[in-house]
Amino acid sequence: MSKKRQQDKAEDIFESARASAGQSVQPVKLGLDDGFCFSCHPGVSCWNTCCHGADVTLTPHDILCLTRRLEITAEEFLSQHTAPAVWDRAGLPVAKLRMGGKDGEGPCPFLTDEGCSVYDVRPATCRYYPLGLAAIKHGDSDAKEDFHFMVKEDHCKGHDEDKRQTVAAFLEEQGIKDGDRINRGWIDILMKMASWRSLGGPGGKDISKQTKQMFFMVSTNIGAFRRFVFESKFLDTYEIDPEAAEILKTDDEALLLLGFDWLKSVIFNEPTIRMNEQVLQKAVAKVRTDLGAA
């Protein structure tokens, strides 16, 4: 008899731009060809209301694009525009856009009378709205399937508009593809960590504070991660092709992808990045000594 499969498990990735979205999620799984009516434009009576008190978790790609657009460093961006937070289900640190007002219910720092002042580089959560993105993991296999769902909040009048489109057309119009491609490894880590956490974490323990700090550094501060790669023993420890290392000196997106692979290797022991043979032998010898097997 076959082993009983674990239950399929869905994890929401981008719920919505609003903290209250929980009650507004429509319980319908939307595929790319499914259609819906929605349009957001300056003529809607609710124009800009959703950019107050918005709950926007920033992806690594969001931070790259915003810092370039604002011509500031990641450190400046983090201190001026974000608040530290924890992505609860995974227990991992993330950065959220810091909204105005004492209670955080005020306007987004990028909101102007004309709308979003960083529209061309707005965060993924803002692009997705009113759709959410979730991924479902099937049983005990590693395969994941993305799907979308609708967030319908009373204040959002965009749902009363006649413009009908498919999910695919909406995502294309919002320019979501590039960001999703870069963020995939980050999303995988959050999802896997959420599922491990429900089992008590690797080996039944939470991951270390230092590993969480590493996750936050890769996710939010590419300059700090570059310094770590080039100014620590990183390049001696891992097998990185010299040509690739040259590219990593200036290519932020490539460095982010390396960062996610490295984190997957550190957190989940996935074979995403190869350790230098000598370092590996030393590590194996140390474990054997520690276990009294040498």
Q: How far is the CB of 131 from ligand SF4 (least distance, A)?
A: 11
The residue among 72 and 116 lying less far from ligand SF4, judged by its C-beta, is: 116
Q: What is the DSSP string of 6-24?
A: PPPEEEEEE--SBGGGGGG
The residue among 48 and 73 lying less far from ligand SF4, judged by its C-beta, is: 48
Q: For residues 143 and 6, is the Cβ–Cβ distance under 8 A?
A: no
Q: For residues 130 and 156, is the Cβ–Cβ distance under 8 A?
A: yes
Q: How far is the CB of 123 from ligand SF4 (least distance, A)?
A: 6
Q: How far is the CB of 81 from ligand SF4 (least distance, A)?
A: 10
The residue among 50 and 257 lying less far from ligand SF4, judged by its C-beta, is: 50
Q: How far is the CB of 145 from ligand SF4 (least distance, A)?
A: 27
Q: What is the DSSP string of 170-200?
A: HHHHHT-HHHHHHHHHHHHHHHHHHHHHTTT
Q: How far is the CB of 154 from ligand SF4 (least distance, A)?
A: 10
Q: How far is CA 120 from CA 57, 66, 134, in A?
A: 17, 10, 24
Between CA 194 and CA 42 the distance in angstroms is: 38
The residue among 54 and 63 lying less far from ligand SF4, judged by its C-beta, is: 54
Cis peptide before 27 (omega within 30 of 0): no
Q: Taking Cα atoms as reference points, which of 250, 275, 276, 243 lies closest to residue 261?
A: 275
Q: How far is the CB of 12 from ligand SF4 (least distance, A)?
A: 18
**Where on the chain is the footprint of ligand SF4 (CB under 6 A)?**
17, 40, 44, 46-51, 54, 56, 108, 110-111, 116, 118, 122-123, 126, 129, 155-158
Q: Name every residue whose Cβ is closer than 8 Å to that of residue 289 and which is 6 or more positions away in sequence.
A: none
